[in-house]
Structure 1
Amino acid sequence: MSLRSICVFCASSPGTDSALLDVAREVGAGLARRGIRVVYGGGGSGLMGALADGALGEGGEVVGIIPGFMVDREWGRQDLTELHVVDSMHERKARMAEHADAFLVLPGGIGTLEEFFEVWTWRQIGLHSTPIALLDAHTGSGQGFWQPLLSALRGIYEAGFVSEASLEDVVVAATLEAALEGLAERASAGETCILRPGS
């Protein structure tokens, strides 16, 4: 299956590691070079802004979906291919999902985690079949950004609160190329990538 449009979740703040801003910018550029449309939350700062900058700089399509209250606070940007202003955070996520062939999760905080866990939950209960990937980008320390989360999830599995099948349902990759390969395989053949620390 050809991935034509990917919804990217990531931080609206820059964080403390500038390498992650570079990762977001390169992800945007890399998707654009492959002809893949970027769908994201419409923000203009942090990793979100870097993602959009990277895609637009390569002539790519970028679709932003943002609630009106964020536009009122001037958190959005107007130079996107499309900007959809919606009424609520719930509508924002639903519209982002409607536009996506896959979900790609970059480094982020509480909002990014909430988005990831919601679409993962939706997939588990059969509300959609869209594949999901965590981009486990290396931080300045050399560790993959999502390794602490992956360790916590394995602990939750060992405690009996999440199944092995659920953990296997998320692609985990250190590079964009590997993430796209995993997403395409899942979209076309239903193959899985086991979610475990160090993967």
Structure 2
Amino acid sequence: MQADIVPIRSICVYCGSQPGRDPSYMEAGRALGRSIAAHGLRLVYGGGTRGIMGAVASGVMSNGGKVTGIIPEFLMDKEASRHSLSELTELVVTEDMHQRKHRMFQEADAFVTLPGGIGTLEEIVEIMTWGQLGRHRKPMVFANINNFWRPMLELLDHMSEEGFIHTAHLVKPMVIDDIEAIVPAIIAAGSSDEGEETVLSRM
């Protein structure tokens, strides 16, 4: 059964634990964090304190916002420093990646994907899959910094055209280039009562 739309109180951000080669990726992370804090929302993320993950968390905390980090025990020394983790508003340590992803889904009212690698891609694809299966109607956004996600979006269009995404209207996240427009778009989508296409349509 399709879940109801709920007001936006928290945003889950998927992104790389590395900074990437383009400095704009890190700046986008910090800017998104600032925007989340400015709108009074809570960040839910993978708990890393390095790379783009660290930039988002820093952007939130340096502007007085709240951060929930969710990280498996085996990644605590790989993706984060334990000292930095102690500065988070809330830290949840899970046994494995499956628990981490499920808890992130439970804690979040919307999802934003910044540039990242295989893990980042796997996380947002799973959320899109659950959307296709009708398990949620939470807004999903590809933060398309410098067209980073263009190949992925082209692949999604190709799969849909070839008849492999049978409920395409449920798996079309918003695609937003302007980092400052992301949080307002999510808030607008979360308050919409015009149906799932409004919530999940591409911008």
Match of 1:23 in 2: 28
* Matching residue's letter, 1:87: E
Q: Report the Cα distance in structure 1 between the residues aligned to 2:66 and 2:151, rounded to whole angstroms.
A: 33
Cα distance change on mapping 1:192 and 1:101 into 2, 3 Å: closer
Report the secondary structure of 1:172's partner residue.
strand
Residue 170 (structure 1) aligned with residue 178 (structure 2): no
- TM-score (ref. length: structure 1): 0.87
Match of 2:3 in 1: none
Match of 1:12 in 2: 17
Higher relative contact order (CA 8 A, sep 6+): 2
Identity of aligned residues (%): 43
Instruction: From the two aligned structures, give the one with the greater helix fraction.
Output: 2
Residue 36 (structure 1) aligned with residue 44 (structure 2): no
Which residues in structure 2 correspond to 1:1-199 (within 5 Å)? 2-73=7-78, 75-76=80-81, 77-138=85-146, 144-163=147-166, 165-166=168-169, 169-187=172-190, 188-189=192-193, 190=195, 191-192=198-199, 194-195=201-202
Q: CA deviation at 1:73?
A: 4.2
- TM-score (ref. length: structure 2): 0.85
Cα distance change on mapping 1:147 and 1:72 into 2, 3 Å: closer
In structure 1, list runs of 5 or more residues that go unmatched: 139-143
Q: CA deviation at 1:2?
A: 4.4
Q: CA deviation at 1:78?
A: 2.2
- Count of residues in Structure 1 that have an aligned counterpart in Structure 2: 191
Deviation >3 Å, runs of 4+: 166-169, 192-195
Q: Report the Cα distance in structure 2 between the residues aligned to 1:168 and 1:127, rounded to whole angstroms.
A: 12
Q: CA deviation at 1:131?
A: 1.8
Report the secondary structure of 2:86's partner residue.
coil
Cα distance change on mapping 1:137 and 1:12 into 2, 3 Å: same
Q: CA deviation at 1:111?
A: 0.6
Report the secondary structure of 1:44's partner residue.
coil
Cα distance change on mapping 1:160 and 1:136 into 2, 3 Å: same
